[in-house]
């Protein structure tokens, strides 16, 4: 396993130049329960809507979400959609937008109508002019792009065939980048790969690859064979073919092809997954990763992206949780220090429709009684947060000589339990403030408490949650264990 922390630190100092077709992605969520009396068409009862920066702009957002700096060059029309996109990009802290305005074309806008319950796209409406930029606009784009090359570590061309990446722009950018020794990643749309000649890596999906190479591309052997010829034509170092639920195959010009299977996840929306893949590949290569590390990271990021609704981005923290083995996550990702951010993780779980449970204690010496409560707690929810008293809190509650183990040691032992999804340390004598922040669906304590004695029960029940009391194992007590140890019995 590669050193994720070292790679993370390297990412923060890298700059990606992303060039491509910007668009506004809108999602209208609702349900269909009847057919219109005016025409044989479904009527959607709109419940909510949201707008996102889409197209190549979503690639830029993913680059920034990973912690790198992104200079984004795109094209907008002189309209409200273009102004909205410019404002949204300028509000992104790690994106530096460089937008060329073309008054003769509309800003690309796509509106998707989605079934809220089934996450099914029912209709998409597009406002666009999918034609190459004029000579005048083409020159303006190049005048913006070429002076930026000395500032960047890698170039990413995100081609949606909406007019920014004309043959002249592609050729000029690749040639100028190669002259500087800067790698170029291309998410292609043109099926003539020769137009991208000299790029470092092309990342077509399987359909695009099959059509471009006139091959079946049904298995790794098909892809590997056809890729060699395609790389000769494109004069590139490698080809990455994304295959949705079948994973990804990377074929280097020199070396052995690498195939990684897709992660098993509940797919909510595939919109923008290719953007995430291209962004991760570019950022990790810029940070010094090898082909396999970049590939496996992109594959993991795609799994995170498709598990979200709408045009999604993937953060470095989400990528870490997906790619690192569970054993590594115990200490690094399951423990939140006092006052730390538990809300983000809780929000992610709730967006996935998961029930969040909570229990708490000092857990100074973990014994079977503790394990019984924790295991029963986890059985009543989908994700379990364990609140852990800090050292100062334990000392106030238990007296001098306690805790026996410091808070970090106690947290690591709890985090190693499969039933525990998060350990949140708190400084107060009770976890009330933590419960207010988490608002768990289920609050669990041992059966030696009554419902009224459980701290936070009124908060949980006011939010529609429940308090669960579980049976405890008799004969187990940390205080008695400590006393026996000190007496040498």
Give the CATH number for residue 445. Answer: 3.40.50.620
How far CA 355 is from CA of 14, 350, 382, 435, 441, in Å, comes to 38, 7, 5, 15, 6
* Same domain flag for 332 and 320: no
pLDDT of residue 480: 57
* Same domain flag for 90 and 225: yes
pLDDT digits (tens, 9 = 90+) for 322-355: 876 554 555 667 899 988 889 988 988 888 788 8
pLDDT of residue 191: 92
What whole-number distance in Å separates Cα of residue 323 and Cα of residue 303?
10
Going by the DSSP 8-state scheme, the letter that residue 123 receives in this structure is E
pLDDT digits (tens, 9 = 90+) for 167-192: 999 999 999 999 999 999 999 999 99
pLDDT surpasses 90 at 310: no
Q: Write down the mean pLDDT value for the chain.
A: 89
**Could you count the other beta carbons within 10 Å of the beta carbon of residue 489?**
6
pLDDT surpasses 90 at 479: no
* Same domain flag for 344 and 362: yes
How many domains is the chain partitioned into structurally? 2
What whole-number distance in Å separates Cα of residue 175 and Cα of residue 153?
15
Going by the DSSP 8-state scheme, the letter that residue 18 receives in this structure is E
Q: What's the predicted TM-score (pTM) here?
A: 0.71
* Same domain flag for 418 and 292: no
* Same domain flag for 370 and 320: no
pLDDT above 70 as % of the chain: 93
**Could you count the other beta carbons within 10 Å of the beta carbon of residue 283?**
32
pLDDT of residue 1: 46
Average pLDDT over residues 67-90: 97
pLDDT above 90 as % of the chain: 65
pLDDT digits (tens, 9 = 90+) for 223-271: 998 999 999 999 999 999 999 888 899 999 988 999 988 887 777 767 7
Q: Of 339, 361, 353, which is closest to residue 383 (Cα–Cα)? A: 353
* Same domain flag for 282 and 337: no
Q: Decide which of 306, 324, 342 is a domain's last residue.
A: 324
Q: Domain range for residue 392?
A: 328-487
* Same domain flag for 395 and 309: no
How far CA 321 is from CA of 266, 329, 353, 411, 421, in Å, comes to 16, 7, 19, 18, 12
CATH of the domain at 19: 3.40.1190.20
Average pLDDT over residues 455-459: 93
Q: Which residue has the higher pLDDT, 267 or 363?
A: 363
pLDDT surpasses 50 at 273: yes
What whole-number distance in Å separates Cα of residue 296 and Cα of residue 311?
21
Give, for 470, the enclosing helix (H) or strand (E): strand 466-470
Give, for 20, the enclosing helix (H) or strand (E): strand 15-20
Q: Which residues are catalytic?
A: 275
* Same domain flag for 316 and 455: no
pLDDT of residue 79: 96
Q: Which residue has the tokens 């852990």?
A: 388
pLDDT digits (tens, 9 = 90+) for 414-454: 998 888 999 999 999 999 999 999 999 999 988 777 888 89
Give every CB contact of residue 355 below 8 A, 6+ residues apart in sequence: 380, 381, 382, 383, 441, 442
Give every CB contact of residue 40 below 8 A, 6+ residues apart in sequence: none
pLDDT of residue 2: 58
* Same domain flag for 404 and 319: no
- Omega prior to 155 cis, within 30 of 0: no
Q: What are phi and psi of 261, to 5 degrees?
A: -75, 155
* Same domain flag for 34 and 129: yes
* Same domain flag for 411 and 290: no
Question: pLDDT class for 475, splitting at 50, 70, 90?
Answer: low
Q: What are phi and psi of 406, to 5 degrees?
A: -70, 170
């Amino acid at each position: 396993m590669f050193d994720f922390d070292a790679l993370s630190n390297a990412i923060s100092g890298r700059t990606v130049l992303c060039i491509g077709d910007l668009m506004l992605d809108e999602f209208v969520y609702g349900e269909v329960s009847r057919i219109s009396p005016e025409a044989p068409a479904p009527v959607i009862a709109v419940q909510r809507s949201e707008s996102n920066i889409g197209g190549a702009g979503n690639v830029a957002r993913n680059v920034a979400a990973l912690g790198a700096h992104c200079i984004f060059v795109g094209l907008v029309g002189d309209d409200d959609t273009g102004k909205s996109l410019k404002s949204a990009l300028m509000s992104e802290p790690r994106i530096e937008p460089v937008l060329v305005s073309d008054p003769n074309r509309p800003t690309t806008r796509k509106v998707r109508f989605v079934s809220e319950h089934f996450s099914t796209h029912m209709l998409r409406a597009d406002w666009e002019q999918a034609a190459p930029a004029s000579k005048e606009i083409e020159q303006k784009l190049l005048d913006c792009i070429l002076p930026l090359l000395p500032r960047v570590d890698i170039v990413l061309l995100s081609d949606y065939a909406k007019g920014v990446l004309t043959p002249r722009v592609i050729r000029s950018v690749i040639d100028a980048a190669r002259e500087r020794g800067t790698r170029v990643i291309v998410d292609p749309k043109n099926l003539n790969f020769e137009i991208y000649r000299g790029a470092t890596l092309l990342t077509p999906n399987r359909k695009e690859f099959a059509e471009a190479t006139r091959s079946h591309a049904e298995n790794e052997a098909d892809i590997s064979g056809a890729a060699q010829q395609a790389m000769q034509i494109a004069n590139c170092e490698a080809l990455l073919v994304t295959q949705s639920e079948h994973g990804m195959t990377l074929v280097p010009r020199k070396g052995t092809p690498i195939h990684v299977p897709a992660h098993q996840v509940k797919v909510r929306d595939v919109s923008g997954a290719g953007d995430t893949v291209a962004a991760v590949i570019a950022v990790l290569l810029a940070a010094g990763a090898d082909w396999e590390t970049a590939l496996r990271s992109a594959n993991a990021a795609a799994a995170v992206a498709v598990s979200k609704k709408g045009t999604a981005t993937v953060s470095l923290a989400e990528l870490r949780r997906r790619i690192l083995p569970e054993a590594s996550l115990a200490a690094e990702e399951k423990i939140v220090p006092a006052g730390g951010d538990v809300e983000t993780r809780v929000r992610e779980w709730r967006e996935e429709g998961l029930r969040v449970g909570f229990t708490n204690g000092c857990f100074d010496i973990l014994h079977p009684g503790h394990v019984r409560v924790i295991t029963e707690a986890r059985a009543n929810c989908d994700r379990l947060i364990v609140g852990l008293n800090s050292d100062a809190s334990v000392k106030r509650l238990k007296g001098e000589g306690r805790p026996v183990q410091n808070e970090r040691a106690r947290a690591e032992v709890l985090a190693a339990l499969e039933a525990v999804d998060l350990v949140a340390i708190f400084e107060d004598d009770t976890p009330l403030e933590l419960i207010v922040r988490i608002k768990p669906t289920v609050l669990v304590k041992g059966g030696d408490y009554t419902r009224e004695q459980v701290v936070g029960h009124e908060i949980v029940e006011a939010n529609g949650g429940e308090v669960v009391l579980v049976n405890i194992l008799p004969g187990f007590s940390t205080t008695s264990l400590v006393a026996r140890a000190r007496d040498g019995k």
